[in-house]
Amino acid sequence: MSLPAPRRDGRQSDTAFATQRGVCRMLRQRGFASLCELPLADGRRADIMALGDRGEIWIVEIKSSPEDFYADHKWPFYVEFCDRLYFAIPPFMDPAIIPPAAGLIVADGFGAEVLRDGACQPLVAARRKAVTLRFARAAAFRLHGLADPQGFPD
């Protein structure tokens, strides 16, 4: 079965979109399923959430420029929803601005490389279950939306 390519929603720059694509390719190669723009229980939205085969949950925050990084103050709240937090940046961006406790991924439109793993802070069981359920439901709804785009408009 062939699925259509993801649609851009117009909010991302070309650089952010290419970074997202490279990160998602790398995650899949590592055995992670990923969802982009996943709403969290607190109303924030993760740029990329990834679920590993042993239930490990990563959030990847994309930063396309230093200005994008310095303007964002919501990323510290993401640690409550993942085992590891990463920042993904394009190759031309200086990695020195990324906090050392966070993981670091450098990506372009073709792939990505983890330069530094994020600190592991395992979720408690109840939060892991809630986040995993949110991930699964979002994935299923998105898949159904591809199969029946007129069925339930967003």
Q: Is the pLDDT of residue 151 over 90?
A: no
The mean per-residue pLDDT over the stretch 143-148 comes to 90
Tokens of 75: 């990323």
Which position has the token pair 């490389």? 113
Classified by CATH at the fold level, domain 14-145 comes out as Trna Endonuclease; Chain: A, domain 1 (3.40.1350)
Average pLDDT of the chain?
92
Q: What is the pLDDT of residues 3-58, one digit of tens each?
A: 444 555 667 899 999 999 999 999 999 999 999 999 999 999 999 999 999 999 99
C-alpha closest to that of 107 among 48, 19, 41, 25: 19
Q: Is the pLDDT of residue 2 over 90?
A: no
pTM: 0.90
Could you tell me the residue ranges of all domains in the chain?
Answer: 14-145
